[in-house]
Structure 1
Amino acid sequence: MNGEDYAGLGDWTPEDLGVPGEVRPVVSAPATVLSRPGGEVDPTAEETVRLAADLVATMRVSPGCVGLAAPQIGVGAQVFAVDVTGHPKAATVHGTFVLCNATVVEASRWKVGREGCMSVPDLTGDVKRAGRLVVEGALPGTGKVVRLVTDAFEARALQHEIDHCAGLLFLDRVAGAHAIYQRKVYL
């Protein structure tokens, strides 16, 4: 892709493109859409912009959600939203953004960390992910290809969402049953 380096995306909102986002239901495993690779999209297409808006809207009403991919709302497409703003494990924070057809360009500083997922609501697991990441993807609406350099929790969130777009859940990345845990419920 060879995207332009992007130090900060800033907060992106669906309203920036004149499209209101619709809150969509989140599908749970074992839904087939979660286990199949999503197709590439035209980031400038109206349906892609609408999908981006729906991802952001759905993410914003979901407590604790830091990322959401198209397969999680039932659409087999390579589009996801991320926002780790305010998360205690975040170091680099690019605000709210959506990427289309994203690929990992560089990955280093691998570390195991606990992950959860809205599509696997009852479990968490220990997953080894890169702590430093370079990703390229296209912005919805403009189609501009950007290169995002990030680390820590934002890097983990990006890898998690890119996996969703490839038909993988965090459960596909754990070392084994010993690394899967029942999610704690806090009242």
Structure 2
Amino acid sequence: MSDAWKNLNLEGDGLQAANLKLVQQMKKRRQAYILLAFFPMGWHRDYLDDIRGGWLYRIASVAAVASFLVGYAWPALALAAVVIGFALYDIRWIEDRVAAINKALRIQSFKTKPATQMPKDFRGRYTDEGLDDYLKLKEEERGGHVAPGKDPALNSRSRAPSFAEQEAMLNALTKSKAKSDSSSN
């Protein structure tokens, strides 16, 4: 499936618009791992909002290269080993960091949604008000069926009559008309 829906602008402050903003802001693991390939530059740390860590990578990499060029090979190798060690640690760090950033973004997006009033006495999925009446109604039902004589569909004309009901009404009308015609003659 194409990701073109992510670029749609639905305007407004609805759930779809909030989700689209959230998808655009969320950090991607794949992108972080691609940037990790260039670990001496520290771009993966910058991408994951750790600017200080990105700059430490840059400074350590430049110091390693500079000390190698000056002639201090062993300190340069030690510093390069430290940078590589931190890069190996960052393989695991990226997972945790992406999860933490994305969780914070989700929480932030839900907190900034337009607030709607909760129903009075709202405690979750249901309220205790009217629970006794509901339980009594459910006790009358057996196997998903409505108790005889209690079905509102059969007791009210809020719906159109079925074909069978229409036929019965036409037969009754025809019989009553025939009776009225025979009594008037």
Q: Is the structural similarity TM-score above 0.5? A: no
Structure possessing the higher radius of gyration over alpha carbons: 2
Q: Which TM-score band (shorter chain)? A: under 0.3
Per residue, is there more helix in 1 or in 2?
2
Q: Could you say which structure has the greater relative contact order, defined with CA pairs below 8 angstroms and 6 or more residues apart? A: 1
